[in-house]
Structure formats: structure tokens, C-alpha cells
Amino acid sequence: MQNHILEIDNLTVSFDGFKALNNLNFTMNTGELRVIIGPNGAGKTTFLDVITGKVQPTEGTVRFKGRNLRNISEHHISRLGIGRKFQTPRVYLNLSVRDNLDLAWVRRKNVFATLLTSPKKGDRRTVTGLLETVGLTAKADLKAALLSHGEKQRLEIGMLVAQSPELLLVDEPVAGLTDEETENVGNLLLSLAEHHSIIVIEHDMEFVRQIARQVTVLHQGSVLCEGSMNQVQNDPRVIEVYLGKAPSVSAEQLLILRIAAAMAWADGNFAPEQMQVILTRLSKQFASDPEQQAELKTELQNYLSQEIALEALIPELSSESDRLQVLKLSYEIIRSNTINEYENRVYQKLLSLLDLPEHQVKSIEAEIEAGFSSLSLDDYLQQ
């Protein structure tokens, strides 16, 4: 119980009858880095609004370190140790970068302390350290209005850190950033995660994959599912809310397909024609009539277009028949052209991960070899 930094029970927020959040339950451990994803309108930003006190819950409770946040004003919640970064960078444009950080860093934030204290030597040193952390040392005395979009994002994160909150809420930190800047922000967040609990809301799936350990999917104001990135990606419900259509294969079948795709990617060389061949093969495997096959083919193209590590996928296979099917498909795929050194290595890894009895492996390989030797590649394609 003590270990939960944030507990949310049966949270409902309704705006004039529209439920932006609906019976949402959520807990997070101290020190965790949690990513929250969800399609537009899933209630992600409202979720942060409730935690930071901007919006009051209609029903339910939000507890931060066991303390109910209802009726506590925003600045008190901030002083309790919850920092928030907004979707668009919100910094004080007419103040210098240094002053932006100084205002966020100061501990005593009442009127009189603000009026009567000036930055001491220690304060300045801390701010200098912060400037280094966010990489804005050279621009410390420029007005924040002159910073680029990415620099403003980093400055705002720096201001968050300056508050030294225990829980950081970060809303779409990489929206509108270049790939390089995205990676910088990702690394910054990862290093912050060593000492803080962080909730990140994000759309950019590449970025989510870079930083995510635990992912929570919100949909229509409730938690749809929770788990590792791979579990979430294989969940048919998640695919349905993102692509607007339920996948026509089951979760287990999808997993098998993903492993097969990972094998196809093994030599890092996945020519479009080759992909077509494999897609045709796979769709035949799982659907019977031609129309369904065509549909499945385009669907698969969506799921398989990225590379995922085998180690993450194979432990998820539950039954032995699934393992056998994986082996069969994988061998077919690498055997479809001549097996090179690299493919062989990945195949050996697959075998060790699958951990099947050797005689079964041998018989399957032989079966497929037999099929190949009786056909030329052209025949295989036409088949």
C-alpha cells in the first residue's frame, strides 16, 4: 500500500453529462515510469487535469501518497510534489531562461518571500546545474521567446525538474520535435526516471517504444488494458481502437504472425516482393476464402511493418502446437530463399527459445525441405 504513489479509484469526470473519464481505476508504484496511450478523445489530458487539480472529479478519488486530492487547489498540489508539463511548451516568454528556472526552483513561494528574497549563490549554482541538465547553458540569458520549439520543451521539463516533484506528469513531450530532439527528450526522461515517478502521455509510438516499460491504454475514459509494450500491441482490443476494426485473427494467431515477421526481418533485408510472398502465404494459412485472404493481407501489412525482438515475443506463446506452428512458418520463410549466415544464427536462436524436442524439429524441417525440393521457387509462388 505504502508503495503506491498514485491511486485512483472509480474516477468519473463528466462535463454536462459527457463522461470524459468513466469509472477509471489506476495505480502506480513509486519510482515507476508509466506511459499512457490512447486514441484522441480517450480522456488522457482530462486524466492529468484531475490529478493536478485543474478539474475536480465528479465521482471517485485520486490519492497521492495516500492523500486525497479532492478540493486541494492546483498550487498546493504542485507543492505536495506533483509537477506537470503541458502539451504545448508553456514557459514565461518574456523572462530569461535562467529566470524561468529560478522561479520554478524557489522553495518558498508565498508573496512575501518572493518579494523579499533574491537569488543566493547556492540558488544560482543549482540553476546553473539545471541549465546543464537540459542543455541550455549557452542560452541562459536569452529571453525564452527566442528559443526554438524543442528548446522550449526542454526548458519546460527543466522547470519541472527544478520544482523537484516526486511525480512528474508529462503531456506529449515530443509533439512537433525532430527525430534527434525526440531522442534527446527520451534520454532526458529516462535519466529523470531514475529518481522520479513519471507519467508520460504520448502519441508517438516510436517514442513510446523507446521509453516505455509499463503502458496503460485509455479508451473512452476508462483503462482498456495495461501491460508491457508488446502485450499491449498484441491485444486485439487495442488494435481495434487504434485501427477502428477488430483483427480477424485471434491474439495467439497474431503473435505467431509477428514472430514469423520477425524471422522475415532477420537479415535486415526485407524486399517488398518477398514481403508480398510471405503475406500471401500467411493469409492463406489463416483464412479460407479469397476475399478474406485479401483483407487479411492488408491487415497484416499494418501489423508487421515493424521490427520486434524475438526474445520479447516467444515467451508469450502458451501452447506447444503454437510453438510448432511458429517453427514451421519460420523455417518456410527463411527457406524461401537461400539461407545465409545471419538468418541461420537467428534461426538457431529461435530454436533455443522455442525449446522443442529435437526429433520434432527435424521432422518439420524435413517435411518442408521435401516440399521445396519437389517445387521450383516459381511453382512455390504460384501455389
> Any residues with CB less than 8 A from the CB of 31 and at least 6 apart, and which?
5, 193, 196, 197
> Between 86 and 303, whose beta carbon lies closer to another protein?
86
The footprint of another protein on this chain (CB under 8 A) covers a number of residues equal to 39
| Strand locations in the chain (E) | 4-15, 18-29, 33-37, 59-64, 67-68, 82-85, 167-171, 197-201, 214-219, 222-227
Among residue numbers 127 through 146, which ones bind another protein (CB under 8 A)?
Answer: 128, 137-142, 146
State yes or no: residue 55 binds another protein (CB under 8 A): no
The nearer residue to another protein, 81 or 227, going by C-beta atoms, is 81
163 in contact with another protein (CB under 8 A): yes
x/- mask, another protein, residues 61-100, rule CB under 8 A, reads: ------------xxx--xx---xx-x---xxxxxx---x-
Q: Which is nearer to another protein, 117 or 191 (CB)?
A: 117
Kindly state the smallest distance separating residue 332's Cβ from another protein, in Å. 54
Instruction: Considering only CA atoms, give the Rg of the chain.
Output: 26
Query: Exposure of 47 by Cβ count < 10 A (0-12 exposed, 13-18 middle, 19+ buried)?
Result: buried
DSSP string, 163-205: T--SEEEEE-TTTT--HHHHHHHHHHHHHHTTTSEEEEE---H
Judged by CB, which is closer to another protein: 92, or 372? 92
Half-sphere exposure in the Cβ direction for 185 (13 Å, CA): 29
Task: Out of 33, 127, 159, 241, name the contact with another protein by CB under 8 A.
Answer: 159
Closest approach of another protein to the CB of residue 310, in Å: 42
Query: Which part of the chain contacts another protein (CB under 8 A), choosing from 109-117, 173-181, 249-257, 356-364?
Result: 109-117
Q: Does residue number 245 form part of the binding site for another protein (CB under 8 A)?
A: no
Strand order in the sheet with 4-15: 18-29, 4-15, 59-64, 67-68
Q: Assess 34 for contact with another protein (CB under 8 A).
A: no
Instruction: For cell 472529479, name the residue.
Output: 57
Q: Which one of 20, 104, 193, 266 is in contact with another protein (CB under 8 A)? A: 104
Q: Which three cell numbers stand for residue 266?
A: 532477420
Helix (H) or strand (E) holding 244: none
Give yes or no for residue 111 binding another protein (CB under 8 A).
yes
Which residues would be at the binding site for another protein (CB under 8 A)?
Answer: 52, 54, 73-75, 78-79, 83-84, 86, 90-95, 99, 102-104, 106, 109-111, 114-115, 117-119, 128, 137-142, 146, 159, 163
